[in-house]
Amino acid sequence: MKLSLYDILYILLLTQLKYIFQSNISMGVNLTVKRMIVKIDEKKCTGCGKCIAPCAEGAIKIINGKAKVVSEELCDGMGFCIGICPEGALSVEERYTVEFNREKAESQPKQKDTSIHCFICGASEDTSYLLPLRHNMQSMWVCTRCLPKLIHG
Ligand code: SF4
Ligand SMILES: [Zn+2]
């Protein structure tokens, strides 16, 4: 399988621009800022929990069978979780909220999901860094070792 230009741009947008964007946000001084933040469509959400692991900041939890942003200061708004939702329930919107708290987000315990594996080599989170990927209307994971193969064919 070879990735389309759209897939490659999607991955680059999430992995590269994430850090640039976070840096810009952290330079702000206001407690209330207008910025991108994850929005969850509860009607579409089935509570499957697949979005928990991609959120490295620990901002999403399942409450009463639905995904919720439990603390907006933990959501960096980069939408790393979006591609993995099989129901299309996740999006990002720009609105006023609290400033992203990078220090607190980085101190959150990493949510491990033992059910996710690289769809090419089968590597798990224990041994590899996995990235969420949306391809041909499917949500999947790819490890950083296999990603170049997808990009270059
Ligand atoms: S991945 Fe999508 S459907 Fe599953 S819990 Fe998260 S928002 Fe809900
Ligand atoms: Zn792999």
Q: Report how far residue 4's alpha carbon sits from residue 138's, in angstroms, rounded to the nearest whole number.
A: 14
pLDDT by residue (tens digit) across 35-81? Answer: 999 999 999 999 999 888 778 778 899 999 999 999 899 998 888 78
Can you give the residue range of the structural domain that contains 103? 5-17+32-152
Domain annotation covers residue 134: yes
Give the DSSP letter string of 1-29.
----HHHHHHHHHHHTHHHHHHHHHHT--
Q: Report how far residue 65's alpha carbon sits from residue 48's, in angstroms, rounded to the nearest whole number.
A: 8
Domain annotation covers residue 89: yes
Question: How many structural domains compose the chain?
Answer: 1
pTM for the complete prediction?
0.63
Domain annotation covers residue 123: yes
Any idea which ligand is nearest the CA of 43? Answer: 1
Domain annotation covers residue 136: yes
Domain annotation covers residue 42: yes
How many C-beta atoms lie closer than 10 Å to residue 7's C-beta?
19
CATH at residue 134: 3.30.70.20
Domain annotation covers residue 45: yes
Yes or no: say if 78 and 21 are a contact pair by the CB < 8 Å rule.
yes
Residues 6+ apart with CB under 8 A from 146: 118, 120, 121, 123
Maximum Cα interatomic distance, the chain, rounded to a whole number of Å = 46
Q: Measured from the CB, is residue 45 less than 6 Å from ligand 1?
A: yes
Most confident of 27-31, 34-38, 77-81, 127-131: 34-38
Q: Which residue has the CA at smallest separation from atom 4 of ligand 1?
A: 48
Q: Report how far residue 71's alpha carbon sits from residue 85's, in angstroms, rounded to the nearest whole number.
A: 19
Domain annotation covers residue 48: yes
